[in-house]
Structure 1
Amino acid sequence: MRFNDNWRTILLAGLLILAGWQNGMAQRRVNTQFLPYSEVGFGLGSSTYYGELAGYRKPIKSTFTLPRWNVGLMYTRHFTPRLAARASFTYARITGDDYKYNAGDPLKAPAQFVRNLHFRNDLKEFALVGIYQFVEDGRNSLKRAQLTPYIFGGLALLAHSPEARNPLDSSNRQWVKLQPLGTEGQGQPSYAKPYSLVTLAIPLGLGVRYKLNENFNLAIEGGLRYTFTDYLDDIGGPYPAADLLTGQSAIFGNRSNELTAARKGGDRQVGLQQISNELGSPEQFMRAGTGGFNDSYVFTSIQIHYIIPGKIKCPPIK
């Protein structure tokens, strides 16, 4: 009988240990299960354009010659310790100027100096991107990583409208929208139709996120947007036939004869004379290159993120 009692005691103890282990594992699963959370953010930064007026072959010069600004709002949802999705709206300005880019040495890029085109473009971008964090978050927003680098990629919808300034000797120095003018003959018989002012872009980039406290993050990021258009700058092809354009279309389509740079002023006569002496008539140069790349732009930004409070699920007390 004592032998059976001992076995009963051992069996009961084993069952209690097993039950306790199972209960502990269940609580551990509850404690380690990731709780999705959301954040909203605001960012400020710079914007840089790349295209016919700021070439890909000289990325450093193109980046720092004429940077402009951007401001953005964003909403991010964290689904797993590493993966998140973000919706954002960014308002930004980009600009380019043949004279500014090449005034230092016209002979290095004579075609651009002679062309003498410029533009500005206010961009409205709505983007959806996926985010991958290299450092895992904890089980909830309070346990998120203190510091994590991340990468992102997705798709953006972009609205834009390039503008240029009237010549310096004009009585009206306002900026003029270029797409309606058809500066390359768009809309004319045997020419392309006017380009769209709405296009798509592919955002790709990286950043670093830092946890300031339980409620706020600080992030720094930069990303390239490669667009589906070659007309952020209103330049994508050659000059149209000389007698095709009239009025403002002719003025803004070919500015190579202007002796003063229109955007900010600047005497072009010395540079044009250098090119003429060394290379011959400036009229030989084309309006646009034939590189085959669409226009793109880069956003860099410093962002502040607010963690939206959520319910923290506690394990049941038994």
Structure 2
Amino acid sequence: MRSNFNSSKNWSMNKHEIFFAVGPSQFLGDLGGLNREGTQKSIVDLDWSSTRIGGGLGYRFRFHPRWATSTQLYFALVNGADSNTDEIIRRSRNLSFRSPILELSQRIEFIILANEKRGARYGLGKGMRTKADMLYIFTGISGFYYNPQTKINGSWTNLRPLKTEGQGLPNGADEYGNLSLAIPFGIGFKIAIGEFWRIGMEVSYNKTFTDYIDDVSTEYYDPAILASEVGQDAVYAANPAIENHSWFTEGMQRGNDQDKDAYLFANIVLTRNITYPKPKRGRRVKWRGRTKF
């Protein structure tokens, strides 16, 4: 039986799926990057030494031959460090961070290509191997939790309470929270590895609505006010410059608030089809070696 979007109903045998994803994660923001000045937080500025790992699970509902929607819960770690670059300004600034990303996303997927055929059970029948191959793109909306930290005296310390850019203090930056939104843009493919299983890969670029995943966005704040209002840990976290200290004083640029942070996921995805056929009245349906009526 030929499989196409116009006449075949093979797609309906894959309406409901659960999936598991794992792979590397990357941060695109004000910290880290290549040995040059920042490039507006784009993928050309990836710092491969800062790659971390993430994983998640989700549910996909196929409601049309070309369209599906999926819900995913995902956890990843991201980080960045100026010490990873030889670009003199960024290296001298010497800022660093790490943050968890706990994300709940709702995506809409458009299926570009599909080859879906239901194979013979028990391996019988020439040319009857199950096919469920697919190429798709997706976007959507996600909400996520983040919590930037840096090391102070060898211990990881939450940065948000330290108000490193004077958040909430006189003439300082606006305060930020631990929750934000993002828009994912991605592409994926998958192939059948059995009657019920598929394996594939997805790459997702997630543009956020915050510039504080790395706690860096605007200008250096008055260290005297930080010391009196918050403490010496805040003074150090705000400006740990290791050289060229005159470049990093009150009112000087600390980050770039004209472009929001982003993160990147590249996942191996294992998918399990959980769409079971509904037997017609008076007709036997064999399913995984059992007979149902």
TM bucket by the smaller chain? Answer: 0.7 to 0.9
- Whole-Å Cα distance in 1 between the matches of residues 25 and 8 of structure 2? 43
Q: In the alignment, what sits opposite 2:179? A: 198
Q: In the alignment, what sits opposite 2:55? A: 71
Of all paired residues, the percent bearing the same amino acid is 26
Contact 1:88–1:126, Cα closer than 8 Å, also in 2: yes
Q: In the alignment, what sits opposite 2:233? A: 248
Over 3 Å counting, the alpha-carbon distance change for 1:305 and 1:256 in structure 2 is: same
Q: How does 1:63-142 map to 2 (within 5 A)?
A: 63-102=47-86, 109-136=87-114, 138=116
Cα drift, residue 140 of structure 1: 7.8
Contact 1:219–1:303, Cα closer than 8 Å, also in 2: yes
Q: In the alignment, what sits opposite 2:136? A: 150
Structure 2, unpaired ranges of 5+: 1-5, 121-128, 284-293
Over 3 Å counting, the alpha-carbon distance change for 1:252 and 1:175 in structure 2 is: same
- Whole-Å Cα distance in 1 between the matches of residues 274 and 281 of structure 2? 22
Higher-strand-fraction structure: 2
Q: Are positions 1:184 and 2:165 aligned together?
A: yes
What root-mean-square deviation, in Å, do the aligned CA atoms of Structure 1 and Structure 2 show? 2.8
Q: 1:290-314 CA distances to partner (integer Å, 9 max, x unpaired)?
A: 4611010000000111111422466
Q: 1:120-167 CA distances to partner (integer Å, 9 max, x unpaired)?
A: 00110000001111124658899985322110100000100000001x
Cα drift, residue 211 of structure 1: 1.0
Over 3 Å counting, the alpha-carbon distance change for 1:101 and 1:300 in structure 2 is: same
Q: 1:188-237 CA distances to partner (integer Å, 9 max, x unpaired)?
A: 12323321110000000001111111110101010100000000000001
- Whole-Å Cα distance in 1 between the matches of residues 21 and 159 of structure 2? 30
How many equivalent pairs are there?
256
Contact 2:20–2:57, Cα closer than 8 Å, also in 1: yes
- Whole-Å Cα distance in 2 between the matches of residues 202 and 140 of structure 1? 35
Q: TM-score under structure 1 normalisation?
A: 0.73
Q: Are positions 1:47 and 2:10 aligned together?
A: no
Look up the equivalent residue of 1:252 and give its one-letter code.
Answer: A
- Whole-Å Cα distance in 2 between the matches of residues 72 and 162 of structure 1? 21
Higher-helix-fraction structure: 1
Q: 1:228 aligns with which of 202, 209, 222?
A: 209
Contact 1:205–1:224, Cα closer than 8 Å, also in 2: yes
Contact 1:30–1:315, Cα closer than 8 Å, also in 2: no
Partner SS, residue 292 of structure 1: coil
Q: TM-score under structure 2 normalisation?
A: 0.79
Contact 1:115–1:287, Cα closer than 8 Å, also in 2: no
Structure 1, unpaired ranges of 5+: 1-28, 103-108, 258-271, 273-280
Q: 1:90-145 CA distances to partner (integer Å, 9 max, x unpaired)?
A: 1000000001123xxxxxx3221111000000110000001111124658899985
